[in-house]
Chains A and B, each alone.
Chain A
Amino acid sequence: MKCNDVQQRIKAYLDGELSDWEAETISSHIKSCASCSKEAELLSRTWELLLALPEPRAVPDLVPATLSRILAESDKSFLQKLAQRLIPIPVPAVATIALVLGIFIGARLGTLISTGYAEPSEAEDPLYLEIFQELPPQSIGDAYIQVNYGKGDEDL
């Protein structure tokens, strides 16, 4: 086994995470290789250094504070929660939307009021067609019908 491969697995070996066969292979190599043996020693020393990190002197009782937070959250009313969800929507965005809607509604109302709710007639709208009215002769629509369906197709 190559030193590079062994050194990648020394930590797992030291942690007892290898299979018996793998552990035996690594162990044999370490015993016969000065470089890998030194590597194993360095790793062990570094591992021991982590014990320098202090443990907490006393673990605080956090149950009361946690419970207070939970109860405070559940006390919030539905409307408060809804308001909190809506707050992130920026006010200018809402104002812009309201303005655009207002302009649109105003324009529609203006049209309706000025035309007296009159339906557009054939005289006002050259493209005006009643349902099932024949298409104007020599129009694109008429040509399409002629090509595909021929004259005298009553269903159309």
Chain B
Amino acid sequence: MQEPISDAELLKAIARKDTAAFKVFMSRYQDRVYRTVYRFIGDSESSRDLVQDIFIKVYRASASYAPDAGLFTWLYRITANHCINFLQKQKRDPLYKAEEQPVQTLSSAHNSGQSASPENNLVRQERTVMVRRAIDSLPQRQKMAITLLRFEGLSYHEISEILGCSVSAVESLIFRGMEALKKLLSEEQLP
């Protein structure tokens, strides 16, 4: 059985503009990148566009990837920077009004395992809206640090490499973000 080609080999091929190698690479990582982007952005349409942008950046930057650097860190650095830049640009747009952005919810009991009664679904949706609004109110780097910790299960050290800061800076980002969330979500009458 042939061993799958390594990520480093794929990136070398992509640097030579090998689109077949690019397809393999993107197929390997698009799910994970999409989930992270979706958690961070909260909107499926924007997430689809951003994931494409991210992998196009990977394609263009593949020649600069150093094999001794962690691929995951490199890929996620591109992902984090692109998402943060996107939201910062969106917020600077005079036509953008955060409070009017609809919050996407799921109306199934998929996440909680509870029975899908209408009351439970409504409660869950309300809670999602409140949590989403709270996390969206955080500064982008705090939000990204918390997203990577909570949903990717990364360590503070890994997050520090992705965000390009020290471990203590990550701890500070997470502490401040959680303090803000704790205050916001305790003030809300959470269902």
Contacts and interface: CB of A to CB of B under 8 A. Distances in A.
Q: Do A and B come from the same complex?
A: yes
B76 interface: no
B96 to A, nearest CB: 21
A69 interface: yes
A42 B48 contact: no
Contact of B131 (A15, A52, A60, A62): A52
A17 B149 CA distance: 11
B56 A50 contact: no
Contacts of B104: 54
Contact of B178 (A46, A54, A56, A69): A46
B177 to A, nearest CB: 9
B47 A56 contact: yes
A53 interface: yes
B142 to A, nearest CB: 12
B31 interface: yes
Categorize the interface residue count of chain B: 35 or more
Contact of A53 (B52, B131, B178): B131
B86 to A, nearest CB: 16
Interface in A42-58: 42-43, 46-47, 49-57
A65 interface: yes
B155 interface: yes
B128 A59 contact: no
Contact of A47 (B39, B150, B175, B190): B150
A8 interface: yes
Nearest to B149: A15
Contacts of A49: 127, 131, 181, 185, 190
B182 A17 contact: no
Contacts, number: 105
B39 A53 contact: yes
Interface string B46-72: 011001100110010000000000000
A123 interface: no
B48 A11 contact: no
B22 A17 contact: no
A71 interface: yes
A62 B190 CA distance: 36
Nearest to B24: A63
Given A53-B131, A54-B105, A59-B35, 14 more contacts: A8-B175, A12-B156, A42-B182, A42-B186, A46-B182, A52-B124, A52-B128, A54-B111, A56-B47, A59-B31, A62-B52, A66-B56, A69-B52, A71-B19
27 contacts: A12-B174, A12-B175, A15-B156, A15-B174, A46-B182, A47-B150, A49-B127, A49-B131, A50-B135, A50-B146, A52-B127, A52-B128, A53-B128, A54-B110, A55-B35, A55-B39, A55-B106, A61-B30, A62-B26, A62-B30, A62-B34, A62-B48, A66-B26, A66-B56, A67-B23, A70-B19, A70-B59
Rank and list the top 10 A-B pairs by shortest CB-CB distance, nearest first.
A54-B106, A66-B52, A52-B131, A46-B182, A52-B127, A59-B31, A56-B38, A59-B34, A17-B156, A63-B26
